[in-house]
Structures are given as structure tokens and as C-alpha cells.
Structure 1
């Protein structure tokens, strides 16, 4: 169910934007913009977004946590994850991550 929601969002974004494509991030399904990842589906059944280190995630209307795939290191800077309980907001977060990446590229 969680993966299906992610795949639905990825398909919609790939159809909507010419430079958005399917891909992988750490062996997980991901969404790319010009071959750079801006969102992916984690092994913990959460959607992960590249929102940048200045993103005010603590003030977000979606409960986000810093993404940390490591056991002995800190979280990946600028990457945040949202639980499936927040899946109705995944699409908006993916669009936000895409817009932020477009400014970088």
C-alpha cells in the first residue's frame, strides 16, 4: 500500500514534467530531475525528500524527521522523511523538493 502510493506520485510527476524520471537511490525506487534524486521510498515504508538544510522542517505542517540511514553517523543533511500516515501530503512535499532542486540545477 505504501509503495503503491509512492509509485502513483512518481508516475504523475514523470508525466507532468519532461525532466522528471524514474530511478534508484540506495537500491530504493526514486524520483529524479535531470538525473538528480529529489525523493525516494525508504525501506522503512516512508517517503524521503531532499528539501535542503535550510528547510524549516520543525515548522512544517507535516511531521518530518531527518533521514538517517546510518547506524553510527548523523542524518543525511537536507533529507527528511514522512510516515505513511502523512501520505496525503507526500505529493505536495515531492513537488516542493522538485522546485527546490530546479533552483539548484
Structure 2
């Protein structure tokens, strides 16, 4: 379920943009822009997005800071979203892609 939704989004963006490719992030499936990760599916089957600091989510979606570490703080600007909000995953992926394009 989770991977299928993630992969649907990834395939759509890879076909639409030549700079978008498949890849890995911490051994998890990821989406890259010019070789840099901007979104991936975590080992907990949550989609993770690089949205930058002070990001806002679509209405009703709770952004949770992504923290894969036990003894460190969260990764700055990275947020995870549970599958219960999978209908917003594509919109958030496109926001992350827009930020990646802007910062490249």
C-alpha cells in the first residue's frame, strides 16, 4: 500500500522531469533531483519530504519533524507524513521538488 503510492508518485515525476530520478536515502527508496534526495519512504512506511524550515502543510495534514536517530535531534527541514494522509503525498512531493529546483 505505502510503497505502491510512493512509487506511483515517483514514477509520475520521473516521467515528467528528466532531472528527477529514483535513488536511495538511508537504504530506503527515494526520489532525487539532480542527484539530491528531496523525498523518500522511511522504514516506518511514512513519506518523508525536504520542505525546509517553517513549512506549512496542506489543510488537515500534520507535519512531523523527521528524526531517525536515537541520540540526536531531528533532521532540519525534513518532515514525515503518515499514510493516513497519503492523498497529500503528491502535493507535498511537488512542494519538495519545487524547493529542490529553487535551491539547485
TM-score interval w.r.t. the shorter chain? over 0.9
Q: Which residue of 1 aligns with 2:10?
A: 10
Q: Which residue of 2 aligns with 1:77?
A: 76
Report the alpha carbon displacement of residue 64 of structure 1 after superposing the two structures with TM: 1.1
SS at match of 1:52: coil
The reply on whether 1:45 has 2:45 as its aligned counterpart is yes
SS at match of 1:30: strand
SS at match of 2:49: strand
Matched pairs, number:
103
Query: 4+ runs of 1 displaced by more than 3 Å?
Result: none
Report the alpha carbon displacement of residue 104 of structure 1 after superposing the two structures with TM: 0.5
Cα-Cα RMSD: 1.0
TM-score relative to the length of structure 1: 0.94
Q: Which residue of 2 aligns with 1:90?
A: 89
Q: Structure 1: state its 5+ residue gaps.
A: none
Q: Which residue of 1 aligns with 2:34?
A: 34
The reply on whether 1:64 has 2:63 as its aligned counterpart is yes
SS at match of 1:54: coil
The reply on whether 1:19 has 2:46 as its aligned counterpart is no
Aligned equivalents of 1:13, 1:63: Cα separation in 2 = 24
